[in-house]
């Protein structure tokens, strides 16, 4: 099953299953998922990404980057690879959904996409989203695997 169909299926399942709304969570609050604990530490906007060893990346015309810093903890007994697009989306105030920015590798020092997580060891880093400049507020949706729970964390 593709990551898009998993997330879409989860949202449709939640809507059809009768859950109304999301579980509100705040910045700094621990969200316990099936395989990991997630804490949204902070977020910020920028028009250019730059890393110590990579080349700077500018947002497209009419766009900006949103950086979301997270702390993740693998709560299982085995290592696995964190793939945020399987259960995390950034959504703006008019309902547009965004996956993580695909050119983040080499543009951000603490890049979290496809990060191997060892059991019980906290890892902090950033997810980057490219969104339109006209998005004035947004939030993260974090879906708990194999459940109807979807957490909403307001960022702005």
| Residue 12 predicted with pLDDT over 80 | no
- Determine the Cα angle at 78 with ends 14 and 129, to 5°: 50
Distance from chain centroid for Cα 129: 8
| Residue 14 predicted with pLDDT over 50 | no
Side-chain-facing half-sphere of 95: CA atoms under 13 Å? 0
Matching residue, tokens 């898009």: 4
56 vs 1: CA distance, rounded Å: 34
CATH architecture of 3-154: Sandwich (2.60)
Tens digit of each residue's pLDDT (9 = 90 or more) over 67-112 = 999 999 999 999 999 999 999 999 999 999 999 998 887 788 898 9
Whole-structure pTM value = 0.86
Tens digit of each residue's pLDDT (9 = 90 or more) over 57-75 = 999 999 999 999 999 999 9
Neighbour-count burial of 96, counting CB atoms closer than 10 A to its CB (0-12 exposed, 13-18 middle, 19+ buried)? middle
Of 148 and 67, the structure prediction assigns the larger pLDDT to: 67
Whole-number pLDDT of residue 4: 54
| Residue 13 predicted with pLDDT over 80 | no
């Amino acid at each position: 099953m593709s990551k898009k169909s998993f997330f879409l299926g989860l949202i449709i399942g939640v809507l059809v299953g009768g859950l109304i709304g999301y579980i509100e969570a705040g910045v700094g609050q621990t969200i316990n998922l099936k395989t990991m604990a997630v804490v949204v530490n902070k977020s910020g906007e920028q028009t250019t990404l730059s890393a110590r060893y990579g080349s700077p990346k500018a947002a497209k015309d009419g766009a900006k980057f949103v950086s979301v810093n997270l702390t993740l903890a693998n709560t299982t007994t085995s290592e696995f690879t964190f793939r945020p697009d399987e259960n995390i989306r950034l959504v703006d105030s008019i309902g547009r959904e965004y996956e993580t920015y695909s050119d983040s590798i080499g543009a951000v020092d603490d890049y979290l996409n496809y990060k191997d997580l060892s059991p019980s060891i906290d890892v902090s880093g950033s997810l980057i989203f490219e969104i339109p400049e006209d998005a004035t507020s947004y939030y993260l949706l974090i879906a708990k695997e194999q459940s109807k729970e979807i957490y909403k964390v307001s960022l702005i």
